[in-house]
Amino acid sequence: MRILQVCSARTLGGGERHVADLAHALTARGHQVYIALAPNSPLRALLANLPEQNITTLRMRNALDVPSALKLARIVREQKIEIVHAHLARDYPLASLAVRRYAQFVVTRHVLFPLNRLHSLTLSRVARVIAVSEAVARQLRAQRIVDERKIKVIPNGIDLKRFEHPLSDAARKALRAKLGFEHAHLLVGTVGSMLPLKGHEEFVRAAQLIAAQRVDVGFVIIGGDEARNLEYRAKIERMIAELNLANRVRIINWPEELAQFYAALDVYVSASHTEAFGLSIVEAMASARPIVATATEGAQEIISAGKTGQLVPISDAEKLAVAIAALLESEAQRNDLGTHAREEAHHRFGLERMTEATERVYLDALEAK
C-alpha cells in the first residue's frame, strides 16, 4: 500500500513516538510510507529509516490552513496515495480535504478530549477511526460523530527489542552519577511532557514525603523542553527549590534513547491526571520496571493492580508516596511486579501486533471504497 501519515505535532510525546514506530514498521513490511510534518518537527529526528524524499514539511498551522490542505492533496495525487492517516484533531480537516476521491481517510484518536462541531463534518468522509484504548472508543461512541461500526480499538504498540537489554550495575551507577545521584541507592522516575495534566506537581510532593524519610533515593523527571512548556517547567523548578529538593529531584530533557533510563529506575511512576493510553507506562513495563500509576482511564486498561503495578487515586500525592515507598522497601516485590509487567507488555503491546491490526484497518477501508 501507498500510505501518507499526517502529523503536525510541534512537541514530542507518546503519540508522536507512536507515529514514528508505525511508519518504520509499515516500511519494514514493504509498504510505501510517506509522512507530512510541521516545520522543525521533533518527530523528524525519529524518522531516520524513512527515505528523505518521502518526508514533506508543511505549515499545517490549524484546521483551516487551506494551502496546506491543497499541498497534501497534490502529494496524494502525485504519489498515488491509497491511505491518508491523520493523528491530530487539527489535522483531520486538512487530511479530509486532501483525500477527495483519490484515497481513503483514516484517523487515530490518541486523546480523550471531545471533538467539536467542525469534526462532525470532517469525519463524515472518514473510512475508519482507530481508538488507542477502550476509553477513547467509549468517548467517540458517546459523541456519535462517526458511525460506531467504523471505530476500531488498537492499543499502541512498542518495539519491545529496544527495552530488552538491562543495564549492568556499573552502567546504572554511571548513569545515576551523570544525573547527579552518585550516592543514591534507589532511583524513582517519571516520563512525560512538561504539562500540568502529567501530574509533575504530585510527583514532586510525593518525592518530598519520601525524601523526609529516606536519604538514599533520587527522583528524576524526563520531559520535553519545548517553548510552550517553559512556564510550567519553571513552576516545577521553583517548587523543587522551595521544598529544598534541589539535590533530590532532577528534570532532564528527552534523551535520544529512553530505554537506558527506564532500565536505571527502581520504580516507574505515572502521576497523570488523565491518560487515554499511557505509552510510557508500557515502555516501563517492557523494561521490567515496577509501576505506580494514578488510576486514569488508560492506566486502568494497561495495569493489573497488584500483578503488574500499583494504582492510586488521581491527584493524591500522599497515597502516591505511600505506594512508591512500599515498593522501595521491598526488592522482592519490585522484581515480582517487574517480571509480570514485562510478560504483559510482550503479550499485549508488541509493535508487530499493532502494525498488523493497523494494516487490517487499511485493507478494510480500501474494501469499503
Domain count, the chain: 2
Predicted confidence band at 312 (pLDDT cuts at 50, 70, 90)? very high
Verify that 107 and 185 share a domain, yes or no.
no
| Same-domain status, 262 and 316 | yes
Q: Do 244 and 333 fall within a single domain?
A: yes
Does 222 lie in the same domain as 138?
no
**Per residue in 180-213, pLDDT tens?**
887 778 999 999 888 899 999 999 999 999 999 9
Check whether residue 232 and residue 121 sit in a common domain: no
Q: So what's the pLDDT on residue 353?
A: 95
Residue 171 has pLDDT above 60, yes or no: yes
Of residues 190 and 125, more confidently modeled: 190
Strand (E) or helix (H) holding 152? strand 151-153
Q: How many CB atoms lie within 10 A of CB 201?
A: 17
Neighbouring CB atoms inside 10 A of 367's CB total 9
Q: Same structural domain for residues 210 and 153?
A: no
pLDDT of residue 282: 96
CATH code, domain with 172: 3.40.50.2000
> Predicted confidence band at 101 (pLDDT cuts at 50, 70, 90)?
confident
For the stretch 255-276, pLDDT in tens is 767 888 899 999 999 999 999 9
Q: What is the pTM of this model?
A: 0.89
Residues 107 and 233 in one domain: no
Domain that includes residue 224, residue range? 162-348
Predicted pLDDT of residue 82: 96
CA nearest 202: which of 352, 320, 299?
Answer: 320
pLDDT band at 228 (very low <50, low <70, confident <90, very high): low
Instruction: Tell me the CA distances in angstroms from 170 to 118, 176, 247, 264, one per residue in order.
Output: 55, 10, 22, 11
